[in-house]
Structure 1
Amino acid sequence: QQGLTPVLCTQTKGGVSEADYVDLLLQQQVSGVVFAGGLFAQADAPHDHYHQLHERNIPVVLINASIEGLDFPCVSCDDAVAVEQAWRHLASLGHERIGLLLGPADHVPSRRKLSAARAAAEAAGTPLADEHVVRSIFSLEGGQAAANRLLEQGVTGIVCASDPLALGAIRAARRRGLSVPGDVSVVGFDDSAFMNCTEPPLSTVRQPIEAMGRAAVDLLIAQVQGTRQHSGELLFEPELVVRGSTAPPPAL
């Protein structure tokens, strides 16, 4: 709509690295880059290629995480609000033993979600136990393995950092002979495609993807045109979507 030609660089395991993509884009003299996921979201990952873009004054916008020491504009879903909504939903249904299924330890959005969960649990008067926090790579299989550790702790509700992790948690519960949501409630994050078609349909926290995408492009074009008004991080409010994967906990 803005008259620019988008070039989509997708990453697959063992494929072209993010740093190599950046080299390729610089050779093609791109006007700017939007990063929607990548090493910038991992605090302990190498960030040299971002510094290279910064040194060359290439317009950059980051989505859902910023890089310490670099003042790139950032568009984010508010992780604190997302977790608070999910936590309050489960607590309002009567859940007291709630677990948290996150991404890797250096994943910045997961760090934010953990801080928010601890605050929500404290506010509810039920501090979050360390054994009720598990981590996984972002995949259904990883979610299933990690959720098993939470189920061993007897949690009745699980808040997940992505929808695939949530689907993994549901599979883990079922393979233990538990029903969702009869025995265990599960909340995802993103509202990915077809989450209303799963069995049961997944309760999740929806990221406002369209609004965030428009904001990212607007921020990029402002930099390209030299009219950038740096606004730090723009936080977009998510929305809890309640479907069939959450219910009151089983009666004791």
Structure 2
Amino acid sequence: MADVAREAGVSGQTVSRVANGRTNVDDATRERVLAAMRRVGYRPNSAARALRNGRFRSIGVIMSAVPTFGNSRTLSAIAAAAVAESFSITLMPMTRPTQGEVTGAFSRLNEQAVDGVIILIERHELDESEIELPSGLPVVVIDSSAHYTYPVVDTDQAEGAASATRHLLDLGHRTVWHIAGPPQSYAAERRRKSWQATLERAGREVPPVLTGDWSAESGYEHGLRLADEATVTAVFAANDQMALGLLRALHEKGRAVPGEVSVVGFDDMDGAAQFWPPLTTVRQSFQAVGRNAVAALLAEITGEAQATEPVSVPTELVVRSSTAPPPVTPG
């Protein structure tokens, strides 16, 4: 720092202000100091800075080791939001969130010197009463029903599923079948419950639930069975991948979409508009979930605020060509 100060013709205190990102340095002086840093090869020592101010500018992310489309997109959004705030992320994957794994993950993140933790696990095990999150680090939880004192951020899954179901009923379909996500998924459960409640409020028959595993293959297998049911005219799949498999099955069985069967997905994944036909789906903003999670965590880290009410990110129904009124029954 003394070399930089001599090179730039400023005080050591000014160099320190620039190195720490302070704003009380005019632009011309800042640029002169930065140029001097480049010439002498100076880089701020992040470890020393952390010891001085108690911050490591690093966020830990604990997430399921089994990747899903939603989790991978949310992780990308968290990383982008963290980088925008000059933070790095340390990823800690978990095969199953038992108390031992959760405690171990927190311990390893503490060893790697993070300022806070975002938990991105969609499985119900996180909500079980015997799992307690260790204290000592600021925490934000994504996609959980657990009543933690930490901020919780998630997509409004229930409203998204309700809007998909209402859309099909409003088109004139007597009822809506559902291909649900895996039972251990909290998001899948909320979508399923909302689909059922929407049908019940409308006084419609609730068909048996078909349970998939988020994959296109599971949507395809259930689609082969649904295609053989002549009374099936509308299906809401809990994600776009299962909807894709469903579309293939209906095509192979000669059931026209949307002429005979309407299909709605959930996610608005990349390429959903390129399905054939283009898929009507529920768009959820993974970017907004990531931004809100990082913002809530940074507010905890700095002591500015600690949210008590969950942050619910709204969804949007995107209507494309895979839905239409049901076929007219002769006679």
Q: TM-score, normalised by structure 2?
A: 0.65
In the alignment, which of 108, 111, 136 is matched to residue 189 of structure 2?
A: 111
Residues matched between the structures, number:
241
Question: Quick check: 1:43–1:108 contact (8 Å CA) kept in 2?
Answer: yes
Instruction: Quote the Cα distance in structure 2 between the aligned partners of 1:226 and 1:250.
Output: 59
1:64 aligned onto 2:143: yes
- 1:62 and 1:232 mapped to 2: Cα distance? 12
| 1:42 aligned partner | 123
Q: CA RMSD, aligned part only?
A: 2.7
CA displacement 1:69-108 (0-9 Å, x = unmatched)? x333211111221111111111111111311111122321
Q: For the structure 1 residues 46 and 96, does the alpha-carbon distance in structure 2 shift closer, same or farther, using more than 3 Å as the test? A: closer
Give the deviation of 1:27 after TM superposition.
Answer: 2.7
Return the alpha-carbon distance in structure 2 between the equivalents of residues 31 and 159 of structure 1.
41
* Conservation of the 8 A alpha-carbon contact between 1:118 and 1:127: no
User: What residue number does 2:169 align with?
Assistant: 91
Residue 218 of structure 1 and its aligned partner are, at CA, apart by 0.7
The answer to whether structure 1 residue 247 and structure 2 residue 324 are counterparts is: yes
Amino acid at match of 1:223: E
Asked if the contact 1:155–1:184 (Cα under 8 Å) also holds between the matched residues in 2, the reply is yes
Q: Could you tell me how far apart the structure 2 residues matched to 1:191 and 1:8 are?
A: 26
* Alignment CA distance shift 1:4-1:44 (3 Å): closer
Structure 2 CA distance for partners of 1:113 and 1:201, relative to 1, 3 Å = same
Alpha-carbon separation, structure 2, partners of 1:180 and 1:120: 23
Kindly provide the amino acid, as one letter, of the partner of residue 166 in structure 1. A
Supply the distance in 2 between the matched residues of 1:199 and 1:181 (Cα, whole angstroms): 10
Structure 1 residue 211 corresponds to structure 2 residue 288: yes
Q: Partner of 2:110 in structure 1? A: 26
- Percent identical: 36
Gaps of 5+ in 2: 1-83, 96-100
